[in-house]
Structure 1
Amino acid sequence: MTQQPSGWYDDPSDPTMLRYWDGVTWTSHTAPRKSPTASQSTIGHADQAPTTPLPQGGWRAHSPQPGPPPQYPGDYPGAGQQNPYGGQNPYGGQYPVAPQPQAWMRGPVTADGVPLASWGKRFGAWLIDGLILAALSYFALQLFAPGYWDTVQQFVDLASTGDQTAVEGQIGKLTEESLKASIVTWLTITAYCVAFWTTTSQTPGKMVLRISVRRADRPGALDLATALRRRLLSLIQLIPFISGIYAVIWLLDGLWPLWDNQRQALHDKVGATQVVEGRQPRRPS
């Protein structure tokens, strides 16, 4: 499969701009399609006839042949150059028209034309973030729910003795400590995700895989309301009596982008977000 070479192409999110493709992903470098110095170009104007009278004797002063048109600062290679095939210059004093993306570049995109991240990249980012969150959650539980691990160990020890009465007496305490641990873990994960989503749009895992999350209707980092809405689905694990089905919902949520036309997980649909290739533009300061 031929890889698209790096260069300037039509910006998929703004038809009036060009964006630089580095051979792997879209960069943040953009430029207007129309050259800012195009008005200075003399290409296309007929040469003016000399007004100096000819010397006596009928001879003509030697006039050098016109050379190639000058390159103006800021022009891209090819801008303002003579068309080697004759006829009018195809660029017309503007930047050259970027070629259409190759077939390998085509795929699901956002409403404004930004390529969506693949499921494989999202899964890889989830694994990286999962390792980080496992460590953070462990320390959070030690600080805010220190009795959880002791309660779990006591329950395991009682279960190994076969004392059914003692086990049943421990279930209530285990349930209480488990709920406390679930709340601490959910808050830890939410703080981690929201902090990154609302600043860089990339958790550390997404940074490594060069993908980011954005709203479906516009680019940029998520606002706080959208970021929190994206975490709503995971609250099911804290609701009594139905928390047991969260494992099924969690599995469906992770696999949903495989068959969804917009490659959205269920939590993306709740939050009206999409995960795309590349970074998000920074908010103006």
Structure 2
Amino acid sequence: MSSLPAGWYKDPADTSTQRYWDGEGWLGEAIPADAVPPDGPPAVKAEPPVPPAAPAPQPPQPQPYGSPPPGYPAQPTTPPAYGPPPGWGPQPGWGPQHPGAQAPPPGWQPPPPGWQQPPPGWQPQPGQPMHAYAYPMPQAMPHGLPLAGLGRRLTARLIDIAVVLALNVVVNGWFIYQYWQDFAPIFREYMRQVAAGNQNVTVEPTPRMQTLSIAILTVATLLWLLYEAPSIGARGQTLGKRAMGIKVFRVESTAPIGFGRAFTRWARLGMWTLFWWCGVGLIVQFFFSLSPLFDPRLRQAWHDKAAATVVVAVPPGAHPTVKAAPSGDLPGGSK
């Protein structure tokens, strides 16, 4: 029991207010400390009535067979008029057309499987296509660098061909001269027979010409290999690619591709030089040079696909900005 008599005192919890002390505890709500308190204790507020308890939930009653569930909206007594939506038109070959139906606009395509009708009032954003498959695919940027264009790649290849031809003049010059020594008399005799009106002119190469032709093609192929494979394996560039600002990278990393992959890349194209004598080699190499057109995503030529390489444009001072993950983290990569 407290010895403090009942009365109004400052609230110890908040001295800016005062409350009524009944000798055992504080009653009522606090009032400002400078307000004149009423005589006696504050009025006690009536407690709000207790709301009645909610009735216990009743188990669902079984519905007669064929009746709608509770809360189902009532259906109209007369069936609605069935028909196509406004502007609908059947496709050619669907059978008899609905009177007043309109043909679809040119280029109309049915929606893909799983497509859902948009909600009422939906409108596409300005400048956005209607369907997701109409969005343009982003351009691939291997290792953060743009892909090399076909024009730059062909120009680099022509520069490399000129360099290899110059090497052949130096290394293969003696074999070519010996071949011409045997070929020139045969060619002059052929032209003399044609000028004389002989329609059945036959030209037979000498055995030495056949040996020399094999030697010339073999040396030309080896010169091309020694010129391209080591430089691509170590630096990713030949003289032509360096001049055009393009470079060969691995698909999975920016490390040098190495001689093994460089040889694989060159062999798919360069080994056909051995078949120049029948014309097949030149035709195959021509299509190999145009094969980046068949891969719009990464512009990989067939020999790039064989070696898992990609050719990118390297502007002066540019460096790869994206480092590939280790081989063990690549999907399907080797450990």
Shorter-normalised TM-score: what interval?
0.5 to 0.7
C-alpha deviations, 1:84-125, integer Å up to 9, x for none?
xxxxxxxxxxxxxxxxxxxxxx62333x44321111110121
* Counterpart among 157, 162, 165 of residue 126 in structure 1: 157
For the 8 Å contact 1:155–1:174, the answer to whether it is kept is no
Give the alignment's TM-score, normalised by structure 1: 0.53
For the 8 Å contact 2:234–2:256, the answer to whether it is kept is yes
Q: Does 1:235 align with 2:266?
A: no
Larger Rg computed on CA atoms: 2
Structure 2 partner of 1:25: none
Task: Please give the secondary structure, in 1, of the residue aligned with 2:203.
Answer: helix
Q: Number of matched residues? A: 173
RMSD, aligned α-carbons: 2.8
* Counterpart among 136, 140, 145 of residue 108 in structure 1: 140
Give distance in 2, aligned partners of 1:162 and 1:124: 42
Shift of 1:274: 1.4
Structure 1 partner of 2:293: 258
Give distance in 1, aligned partners of 2:319 and 2:222: 25
For the 8 Å contact 1:214–1:280, the answer to whether it is kept is no
Alignment-mate amino acid for residue 262 of structure 1: L
User: Closer, same or farther in 2 for the Cα pair 1:204/1:237, shift >3 Å?
Assistant: closer
Task: Please give the secondary structure, in 2, of the residue aligned with 1:276.
Answer: strand
Higher relative contact order (CA 8 A, sep 6+): 1
The percentage of aligned residue pairs carrying the same residue is 27
For the 8 Å contact 1:198–1:224, the answer to whether it is kept is yes
Give distance in 2, aligned partners of 1:226 and 1:117: 20
Give distance in 1, aligned partners of 2:265 and 2:189: 40
Give the alignment's TM-score, normalised by structure 2: 0.46
Shift of 1:166: 7.5
Q: Does 1:216 align with 2:251?
A: yes
Structure 2 partner of 1:159: 190
Q: Does 1:225 align with 2:251?
A: no
Q: Does 1:269 align with 2:301?
A: no
For the 8 Å contact 2:232–2:257, the answer to whether it is kept is yes
For the 8 Å contact 1:158–1:166, the answer to whether it is kept is no
Give distance in 1, aligned partners of 2:236 and 2:303: 16
User: Closer, same or farther in 2 for the Cα pair 1:225/1:236, shift >3 Å?
Assistant: same
Unpaired stretches in structure 1, ≥5 consecutive residues: 1-105
Shift of 1:211: 0.7
For the 8 Å contact 2:249–2:309, the answer to whether it is kept is yes
